[in-house]
Amino acid sequence: MAATITISTDFGLTDGYVAAMKGAILTVNPSAQIVDITHHISPQNTKEAAFILGTVYRYFPTGTIHLIIVDPGVGSRRKAIILRTPIADFIAPDNGILSYVIGDFARNAGRKIPETLQAVAITNMKYWRAPVSRTFHGRDIFAPVAAHLSLGVPLAEFGAPITSINTFPLPVPRLSPKGVLIGEIVHIDSFGNLITDITEQDLPHGTPNFEICGNTIRGLSQAYRESKALLAIIGSSGYLEIALNEGNAAAFLRAQIGSEIRVTVISNNK
Amino acid sequence: MAATITISTDFGLTDGYVAAMKGAILTVNPSAQIVDITHHISPQNTKEAAFILGTVYRYFPTGTIHLIIVDPGVGSRRKAIILRTPIADFIAPDNGILSYVIGDFARNAGRKIPETLQAVAITNMKYWRAPVSRTFHGRDIFAPVAAHLSLGVPLAEFGAPITSINTFPLPVPRLSPKGVLIGEIVHIDSFGNLITDITEQDLPHGTPNFEICGNTIRGLSQAYRESKALLAIIGSSGYLEIALNEGNAAAFLRAQIGSEIRVTVISNNK
Amino acid sequence: MAATITISTDFGLTDGYVAAMKGAILTVNPSAQIVDITHHISPQNTKEAAFILGTVYRYFPTGTIHLIIVDPGVGSRRKAIILRTPIADFIAPDNGILSYVIGDFARNAGRKIPETLQAVAITNMKYWRAPVSRTFHGRDIFAPVAAHLSLGVPLAEFGAPITSINTFPLPVPRLSPKGVLIGEIVHIDSFGNLITDITEQDLPHGTPNFEICGNTIRGLSQAYRESKALLAIIGSSGYLEIALNEGNAAAFLRAQIGSEIRVTVISNNK
C-alpha cells in the first residue's frame, strides 16, 4: 500500500542512519511513500522536534504515519509508543515529543491521553527487526513497526493500550496585571524568523505594539516585503512571528529561544 | 498518476517547511513522485535558483513539473505563474526565476514569452489550500496547484493566459576590441569549482589561455585528474569550469560570483 | 518496476547534481524508488564512503541497487563496475569504494572477486545517456545504467565480466605481544560518537578496560543513558563505539580518524 510515512530525527544526513531506517521500512513495505520532515533537530532536543512536528503534521494526507526519533533514552526503560488520532498515527519514544499533538486534541490534557485518541506501548517483538541493537531502535523497532502499521496491521497487535504518556507543558502567553501580553520565542527558523507562542486569537483588539530585545514594532504587517525594518506578522503556522525582510531577525536582535516579547495596544491619541 | 514533481527552495532542511509542501502535494496526489532539487539556495537569491534550475531541468522525464519557491515577494502583488514548455512545466513566483528556461527557448526573448510556450497567472482559488497564509504560498498555493496539474487539470483552469513574465538578462561573455573573450563566474559549486558563462562554442579556435584572479591556465583539460594545479574544463552543463583537482578552486583563487575570466589564444610560436 | 535504488555521493545538496542523477534515473524508470544514503561524504573520500555504505546496505530490501559516486578519477581510465551479490547490486567507479562489501563476502579476498559474486566492467554505451560529459559520469553513465538494471536488463548486457576489482585493506584490530587489543577509530558520526574497527567478537573475555586519547573507560555500557561520562558500547553496526551521553565524544577527546584505542581486561583483584 502506498501509505505515507514521515521521518523526523536528530541524526543529520552525514551518516547512513536515516537511510538505514528507510531501508528497514522498505524491506517490510516496498511501496511506502517516505517523506523526510527534518533530520537536523539539535541533538537530543525533544522540544524542538515536538514543535516542528506540531507545525507540519496536519498538512499530510489523512492516515499518514509520522515516525519521530529523537531518543536520548534509547536502550533505557523509556516506552516506545504509537498514538492514533483521527488524522494521523505517531510512532515515537515516550519522551514528550508528542506534546503539541496531544495539545491540539485537548488543551491542558497533561499526561492523560484524550478519549478521542488511542495509544499503545510497543512491546510485540513480532514486528521488530532481529537482533535489536542497543543504540538504534529507530532502525530495529520504530521503522519496521511503522511499515507493518502502514500495511494495515491493527494497532492492538503492537502492544497493550496505554492511557497516559509523557508531555511537557506547552508555552502559552500570559497577561500581566497591567494588561501586557507576555509571550516568548519558541522557535527560530533558518531565515532567522522568530516564532512566538502567541496566536492571532491571543492578540488584543486595536493596533498592537510589540517590544522584543529592546526594539519596538508598531502594528502587524501583511507581507514580509511591507517593511525593510523589523516587522511582526502572523506566520504560516498561525503564530506571531518577528522577521526582518531580506535579513535575519534573530541575528539582528540577538534573540534566543525563550526571549520575551511584550504586546500592548497603541492608544488612539498617539 | 506517478508524475514527477521537483521542488527547489531557499528554505533549508532544518525546519518543516519543505515537508509541509510535500504533505500538501501528497494530500492532492498521493502517487506523486517528489524529487528535491535543492533547498539550500541562499535566502532570496532568485538568480542562484534560476541558474541551478537551468542546469538540471532537462535531465528529468518529459512532463515533469518543477516547483521553484524562492519568493521574497510572498504576500505582495507579484504574480504566481505556470509556464508550460514542450519538455516540462514550471510553477513559480514571477520574479525572474525562469530566466534561463525562457532563454533556452528563445535567445534574447526578454520579458516576452516565446510563442512555442504557454503561461498562465495562477488566480483560480479552487485549486488552492484554504486558508492561504500570508507568508507561505509555497504550501498553500504552489504545492496544491502542482499536485492538481500532475493529475491532469488543464492549464487554463488555473488562471488566464499571460504573454510576458519577469526575466533578468542572462550573463553572456563579450569580445573586447582586442579580441579577448571576457566572461564571468556565475556559480560556485560545493566542490569550489567555478562555473563561467562561457560555453564550448564560445571558445576561440586554437589552444586557449585563461586568466582568472591573477592566475593563468594554458589549454583545456579532459578530466579533473589530468592536473594537480588549476585546470580549465568543459563542465557537465556545457559551461567552462575552473577547477583544482582534489582542491577548492574558489578558495585557492579567492574567486567570487562575478569574478572576471579572460580567454585568449596561445600563439603558435610560443 | 518499483525497484529501490540508493545514491551515495560527495556532491552535497547545495547544487543540482544529485537531482540531475535522479532525473536521469526516472527518465529510464519512472517507478524507481530512490533513496538517498548520504551526499555529505567528504570530497573524494572513498574510504569514508566505503565505510558508510558497508554499515547500511544490508538493511535494504533484497535486490536493491546501490549507486556510489565518489569519483575523483572521473574522465580518467578508471573502470566503472557493477558488482552483483545475493542481496544487492552495487554500481560504482572501481576505486576501492566496495572494499567493505567485498570483505563481507570473503575475508582477505584482496582484489579478487569472491566466487559467489559476479561483476562486469560497464562498457556498453547503449545504456548510457548521450552525450557523456567529461566530468559527470554519475548522471550520464552510472544513473542510467542503474535504471536499466532496475528494469531487468541482464548484467552481461552492460559489459564483460571481470574477476578482480580495486580494494583497500580493511582496518582490523591487532593483538600486541603483551595481549593488548589495539584498534583504531574508523568513523566519527555526527553525534561525535567514535566508531572503532573492534567488533563484539574481538573483545577479550572478562570486564574490558578501554584506553583512548589519555582517558580510561571501565566496562561496556548497555545504553547511552547509563553514564554521564565517557562510555563504551556496542553500536548499531556491531562495532565498539566510544560515546559521551548528551555530549560529543570526538570533541571532548579531540579524537580523530585513526586514533588508537587499547583494550585490556580488568583483573579480578581490582
**Nearest CA distance, A124 vs chain B (angstrom):** 30
B1–C contact, CB cutoff 8 A: no
Query: Residue C270: what pLDDT?
Result: 46
Say whether B246 and C72 touch across the interface (CB within 8 A).
Answer: yes
Q: Where are the alpha helices (H) located in chain A, listed in sequence order?
A: 17-28, 46-56, 99-105, 137, 143-150, 249-253
User: Which residues of chain B have a CB within 8 Å of the CB of C30?
Assistant: 2, 4, 33, 61
Whether C188 contacts C48, CB under 8 Å: no
Residue range B215-228: average pLDDT?
89
One-letter identity of residue C74: V
B219–C contact, CB cutoff 8 A: no
B76–A contact, CB cutoff 8 A: yes
C-alpha cell at A19: 537511510
Which subunits count as partners of chain A given 3+ CB pairs below 8 Å? B, C
Whether C91 contacts C81, CB under 8 Å: yes
Exposed / middle / buried, residue C131 (Cβ in 10 Å: 0-12, 13-18, 19+): exposed
Measure the CA–CA gap between B244 and B251, rounded to whole angstroms. Answer: 10
Whether A40 contacts A176, CB under 8 Å: no
> Looking at the predicted structure, is the pLDDT value of residue A270 above 50?
no
* Residue whose C-alpha is closest to residue B166's, from B111, B118, B119, B112: B111
DSSP helix/strand/coil, C100: helix
> Looking at the predicted structure, is the pLDDT value of residue A110 above 80?
no
Whether A4 contacts A35, CB under 8 Å: yes
Measure the CA–CA gap between B86 and C42, rounded to whole angstroms. Answer: 38
Interface test with A, best of C42, C56, C68, C194 (most A CBs within 10 A): C56
C190–A contact, CB cutoff 8 A: yes
Query: Residue B226: what pLDDT?
Result: 81
* Residue whose C-alpha is closest to residue C209's, from C265, C152, C156: C265
C-alpha cell at B19: 515537508
Contact partners, residue C169, CB within 8 Å, separation at least 6: none
Instruction: Give the model confidence (pLDDT) of B176-196 as tens digits.
Output: 999 999 999 999 999 999 999
**Nearest CA distance, B8 vs chain A (angstrom):** 15
Say whether A223 and B34 touch across the interface (CB within 8 A).
Answer: no
Peptide bond into C131 cis (omega under 30): yes
DSSP helix/strand/coil, A252: helix
Residue C237 gets which letter from DSSP?
T
User: Which residues of chain A have a CB within 8 Å of the CB of C239?
Assistant: none
CB contacts < 8 A (A, C): 99
B141–C contact, CB cutoff 8 A: no
C37–A contact, CB cutoff 8 A: yes
As a whole-number percent, the residues of chain B with pLDDT over 90 amount to 86
Measure the CA–CA gap between B2 and A189, rounded to whole angstroms. Answer: 32
Say whether C225 and A75 touch across the interface (CB within 8 A).
Answer: yes
* Residue in A12, A31, A74 nearest the CB of C223: A74
* Residue whose C-alpha is closest to residue A7's, from A89, A69, A84: A69
Exposed / middle / buried, residue C262 (Cβ in 10 Å: 0-12, 13-18, 19+): middle
User: Which residues of chain A have a CB within 8 Å of the CB of B26?
Assistant: 4, 33, 35, 60-61, 64
C60–A contact, CB cutoff 8 A: yes
Measure the CA–CA gap between A109 and C10, rounded to whole angstroms. Answer: 47
Residue range A82-87: average pLDDT?
97
* Strand extents, DSSP E, B4-117: 4-9, 33-38, 64-69, 80-84, 88-93
* Residue whose C-alpha is closest to residue A82's, from A171, A3, A143, A2: A143
Output the CA torsion C154→C157→C160→C162 (10° steps).
Answer: -30
* Strand extents, DSSP E, B74-225: 80-84, 88-93, 118-121, 174-175, 181-188, 194-199, 208-212, 215-218
A246–B contact, CB cutoff 8 A: yes
User: Which residues of chain A have a CB within 8 Å of the CB of B139?
Assistant: 59, 236
Per-residue pLDDT of chain C (270 residues; tens, 9 = 90+): 569 999 999 999 999 999 999 999 999 999 999 999 999 999 999 999 999 999 999 999 999 999 999 988 887 788 999 999 999 999 999 999 999 999 999 877 678 899 899 999 999 999 999 999 988 999 999 999 999 999 999 999 999 999 999 999 999 999 999 999 999 999 999 999 999 999 999 999 999 999 999 999 999 998 888 888 899 999 999 999 999 988 899 999 999 999 999 999 987 544
Whether A240 contacts A262, CB under 8 Å: no
B182–A contact, CB cutoff 8 A: no
Say whether A133 and C241 touch across the interface (CB within 8 A).
Answer: no
> Looking at the predicted structure, is the pLDDT value of residue A268 above 70?
no
One-letter identity of residue A233: I
pLDDT band at residue A6, thresholds of 50, 70 and 90?
Answer: very high
Measure the CA–CA gap between A73 and A94, rounded to whole angstroms. Answer: 9
Measured at the alpha carbon of residue A29, what is the angle toward residues A26 and A30, in degrees to the nearest 5?
A: 60
Whether B142 contacts B185, CB under 8 Å: no
Say whether A38 and B19 touch across the interface (CB within 8 A).
Answer: yes
Query: Residue C30: what pLDDT?
Result: 95
B19–A contact, CB cutoff 8 A: yes
* Residue in C59, C61, C225 nearest the CB of A20: C59
User: Which residues of chain C have a CB within 8 Å of the CB of A80?
Assistant: none
B147–A contact, CB cutoff 8 A: no
One-letter identity of residue B92: A
Instruction: Give the model confidence (pLDDT) of B135-152 as tens digits.
Output: 899 999 999 999 999 999
DSSP letter string over C201-233? Answer: GGSPSS-EEEEETTEEEES--SSGGG-SSEEEE
* Residue in C31, C34, C135 nearest the CB of B236: C135
Would you give the end-to-end CA distance of chain C in angstroms?
62
Q: Where are the alpha helices (H) located in chain B, listed in sequence order?
A: 17-28, 46-56, 99-105, 137, 143-150, 249-253
Which subunits count as partners of chain C given 3+ CB pairs below 8 Å? A, B
User: Which residues of chain B have a CB within 8 Å of the CB of C136?
Assistant: 235-236
Whether C7 contacts C21, CB under 8 Å: yes
A42–C contact, CB cutoff 8 A: no
Whether C156 contacts C195, CB under 8 Å: no
Q: ipTM value, please give it.
A: 0.94
Query: Residue A150: what pLDDT?
Result: 98
Average pLDDT score, chain A = 94
pLDDT band at residue B270, thresholds of 50, 70 and 90?
Answer: very low
Say whether A133 and C191 touch across the interface (CB within 8 A).
Answer: no
* Residue in B14, B30, B140 nearest the CB of A38: B14
Interface test with C, best of B8, B231, B236 (most C CBs within 10 A): B236
A122-126 long-range contacts (CB < 8 A, ≥24 apart) are A122/A79, A122/A80, A122/A81, A122/A82, A122/A91, A122/A158, A122/A159, A123/A158, A123/A159, A123/A160, A124/A157, A124/A158, A124/A159, A126/A157
